[in-house]
Chain A
């Protein structure tokens, strides 16, 4: 990522951080060691409403739209370089993407904080974080409704930003944030749902790349283990709805400050992660080192029809160290790709390495039998392979290494093949046909 970051956060942002000591530690780490001067939080003035207090604390301003007003907070971050999406990366991310997608200045990152997690028309996004690249700087605008009646104005602002940058970029936005916003646009009715040129949801590639290795693909988790960032003491997102609802019912403004921070960190993390994923997808010169990441990348390449690149990365992944199951899955996938290329030498080599009591193992017996029967035209060898598959099955059954239904299903299939091959071999004596 960025090697020599400079911090240009506005001075009101410093005030904000000062309020949240744990978050300011996180901030320091995320901005790679820049030290900020800390000043005292402004003290509460008499007669101030909760909303005014919040604006003071954050240094936020009131934004006006034809649909009313809402609170708005701008900040600028420079610790990372803008994402670059080359054509290889784009193809893996979204085949047949419209051309705007290649231009990351058309991207609008979005992350919402809501009054509930269950969805439905009674769930409101009270804080909508938007973010985009301006030159080399990441600009974040956070829209906030101080009252439910301000939702309209906030949505009008979102629609405006999306008109300027029609490529939406989210993390899990396809199933959460965007359907929720669509619902809100439908509910307010007089603001049309802004049309998107494309929606890039980085949850799905992140899942493919890192779930095998990390288990969890929560954004903060990925930041820590993929980007090497440390958020410090972030708040738990489960508390967010309650904090807002208490504020609306007349509660304190202070607890909302870390919510704004959390939302900012999510947006910055998303931008960072997007850059990392694009560089993995794009950069074919500098291969990955982690076998599981390579395996994940191979599967994406294979799914997107990039068979050649998939073969390369699968080969690389089995060259790195992989857990046994993943290694088998990678070999089996690679064998299929080799078969498709009619590279039977490599395919057979892989199949032979797979033989044994596993799903891929039995599939390898079957593939070899098919190969010997139809490609190598050696029914006798095919029969021998089939017989050893049956022997393997019996052995696995006797030592209870295979469950009954799997055993029955596989046995039936191989028995069928054996009978057919036996008939065939009896009709064609080996001396005439084997080379």
Chain B
């Protein structure tokens, strides 16, 4: 798409002027290329106001008007009114639309009317709860502290907990704490549960997939306990824009809910730019590094005094970009770093400091993962740079929304990586701007998840045979749990009969709740070891294995020792010119086939239960700036096992034999095909790429057992496949409901994959279609297309029948 000079002509607003200057330079430098595939101006929107509801108490009205709020945006007023009428409500609120008032106004009004009223607010992270605490304290001060607001999470000191249970009118917590800290001790929270009127669920859209399925079960338990104490709380939910807010919310709370989709908040104008880094080798399909391009773009913005937030898609990229940016933006003498990193592994105090610095403008740039995608108050920034596609349309809008609040202009720049999804989006801006954002899917009756929460429920209150818990046959399930020694029936009810505390072993977010702590021992014996951060179990295997280079706040650390059993990694500060990238090996075994369709030709596709074993077996050292592979190492880390669901395609021996290519080309073609299939699957399912795992396994003809097969050894050893299975599995234990839809959409998946590969301008395959050519044979693209052609023709013949 060529840009007209007019589109880049200066306008009145200064931020946009600056952006247009930068874009002009870029367009000039890369005239031959269509690097700017889209420059779209989103106009400013006027506010729609409504008066405060009549029932608002005068003291609350005064408190708000002292904060400068004397009338409401329309969605705030509608939501407050529905809550006042006793309805459950979910309100769709883009960034900076004043969502907290939607729930605070009706809740505080009721608390002030009747001081017995209690409310529970749930936020997906501790940081968001802290943020809300500040807002509510401010209102509290204006209302003579007539109500108590507290956060209750893992950081709450134990001597403060009792007071919170008794005196907290509003308790701000997170689903994990509710699950493991509050529900199992509900008798201590009697005051709260007896008077529980409102449950607020903020950032509802984050409760998708496995986390959402867990939350739905936690809410089943919460509602069960509320009933025990005779209360029937109302739900107030807020969500970013997703395709199905009402459906997701009602699946989560298992009640009817009103949806408010109107948005009365104003917004400033915004320039949305799609940037595709220029091609540097058309043969190999290699584009200039998007990480470096995003860094360069950010440097331009920072140089023009625009406060900028940069989103990267992994912790590693965050640190790499931060390193580049800090080299160019050194602090002035005696001043703090102007560019900082912000992600999950940083300690809370460090994060608070960064948030504060951003609001004050002391910090000019921040590089983050999705950690800052949610509504943490960091003030209004001028620009947002996204290094790589956020994975979903909804997330992209959320990220873009972090720049520019209610007034003034801002810009959002998406820098595409060479990943297939990125390339698809950057080349189809109309698809992006024209589609609705993703659906939130959950599977509350996923048996693994449900059974875990049923155990917790039995611990909390003996289960009665007349109860309902999700869509399962409760007496039957309890019977089975009794046989396994978890429950015991006595006087009709089932009681928990284990010494352990079930919630402790069940994490809502990942396979395991263990975190590794990272300890800096640079000082040696004389210095004091210092904890510099923590990392969750799954990431630990790939980021803090021995000899890894762990990067924290732009500083490199060499991992000296990993104490796996104690969950500790000991690191020393180093200064090297490379980073490390872990090599993971995955093996899949089919446990049970749910449905299988064998075509009357040489292939089959199926979905069902699988066991996925994965292990980090080695790592590569990669040089900064040139990305050369400068070495490798082997690792011996424990295996990780996961029972999940998968979709797979089996290629028959006959089909493979019919391909006019040698063995090594066929292998590359199979991996290339899987690469492309998985990319298109994320688009079809509207899910995150990280939600899906892929693996190639082999079914020996005539047997059900799998033979190990390691991708990274493919360059060395050649091995004949008999009947390879191409797996696309749900990357969560128990599965999250992607496999069946994928099985149903098989035909569409094949056609779209074929289109993706055919339309790709590269010659022999590139990261945007069948994966990088360098690591595979040169004919991967050709082979993949040949296999696809056969699969498609068979699929067509099936359709005709």
Contact = CB atoms under 8 A, between A and B. Distances in A.
Interface of A: 115-122, 124, 147-149, 179, 182-183, 186-187, 241-242, 245, 248-249
Range, interface on chain B? 20 to 34
Contact of B498 (A147, A183, A245): A245
B631 interface: no
Given A121-B184, A121-B185, A148-B462, A116 B491 contact: no
B495 interface: yes
Nearest to A114: B499
Contacts of B498: 116, 245
Given A116-B500, A118-B501, A186 B187 contact: yes
A112 to B, nearest CB: 15
A116 B499 contact: yes
Interface string B453-475: 00000111110000000000000
A121 B186 contact: yes
A243 to B, nearest CB: 11
25 contacts: A115-B499, A116-B498, A117-B499, A118-B504, A119-B185, A121-B184, A121-B187, A121-B460, A122-B460, A122-B501, A124-B495, A147-B491, A148-B488, A148-B491, A149-B490, A149-B491, A179-B188, A182-B187, A183-B188, A186-B190, A187-B187, A245-B499, A248-B488, A249-B488, A249-B497
Nearest to A118: B501
B485 interface: yes
A121 B485 CA distance: 18
Contact of A120 (B184, B462, B485): B184
Contacts of B485: 249
Interface in B163-210: 184-188, 190
Nearest to A145: B490
Given A122-B501, A249-B485, 18 more contacts: A115-B497, A115-B499, A116-B499, A118-B501, A120-B184, A120-B501, A122-B184, A122-B459, A148-B488, A148-B495, A149-B490, A182-B187, A183-B185, A183-B188, A241-B499, A245-B498, A248-B488, A249-B497
Contacts of A241: 499
Nearest to B180: A120
A94 to B, nearest CB: 20
Nearest to B462: A148
Interface string B496-510: 111111101000000
A118 B503 CA distance: 11
Contacts of A124: 495
Contacts of A115: 497, 499
A244 to B, nearest CB: 9
B769 to A, nearest CB: 53
A78 to B, nearest CB: 36
Contact of A248 (B188, B460, B497, B500): B497
Contacts of B504: 118
Contacts of A118: 499-501, 504
Contacts of B491: 147-149
Contacts of A183: 185, 187-188
Contacts of A121: 184-187, 459-461
B461 A187 contact: yes
Nearest to A116: B499
Closest 7 CB pairs between A and B?
A149-B491, A122-B459, A148-B490, A120-B184, A122-B496, A186-B187, A183-B187
A397 to B, nearest CB: 15
Interface of B: 184-188, 190, 458-462, 485, 488, 490-491, 493, 495-502, 504
Contacts of A147: 490-491
Contacts of B461: 121, 187
Contacts of A245: 497-499
A248 B498 CA distance: 11
B618 to A, nearest CB: 40
Q: Which of A121, A186, A242 gathers the greatest number of chain B CB atoms within 10 Å? A: A121
Nearest to A184: B187
Contacts of B499: 115-118, 241-242, 245
A231 B252 CA distance: 56
Nearest to B461: A121
B505 to A, nearest CB: 11
B626 to A, nearest CB: 43
B500 to A, nearest CB: 7
Q: Which of B490, B496, B499, B502 gathers the greatest number of chain A CB atoms within 10 Å? A: B499
A214 B304 CA distance: 69
A120 B185 CA distance: 5
Contacts of A149: 490-491, 493
Contacts of A248: 488, 490, 497
Contacts of B190: 186
A119 B502 CA distance: 12
B390 to A, nearest CB: 39
A385 B500 CA distance: 60
B488 to A, nearest CB: 6
Q: Which of A120, A147, A245 gathers the greatest number of chain B CB atoms within 10 Å? A: A120
Contacts of B185: 119-121, 183
Nearest to B491: A149
Contacts of B186: 121
A120 B459 contact: yes
Q: Which of A117, A124, A148, A187 gathers the greatest number of chain B CB atoms within 10 Å? A: A148
A146 to B, nearest CB: 9
Contacts of B188: 179, 183
B152 to A, nearest CB: 16
A184 B171 CA distance: 24
Contacts of B462: 148
Nearest to B495: A148
A409 to B, nearest CB: 16
Contacts of A122: 184, 458-460, 495-496, 501-502
A115 B496 CA distance: 10
Contacts of B459: 120-122
A120 B495 CA distance: 13
B453 to A, nearest CB: 13
B234 to A, nearest CB: 24
B782 to A, nearest CB: 61
A435 B185 CA distance: 69
Nearest to B488: A248
B475 to A, nearest CB: 17
A283 to B, nearest CB: 35
Q: Which of A117, A118, A122 gathers the greatest number of chain B CB atoms within 10 Å? A: A122
A149 B494 CA distance: 10
A240 to B, nearest CB: 9
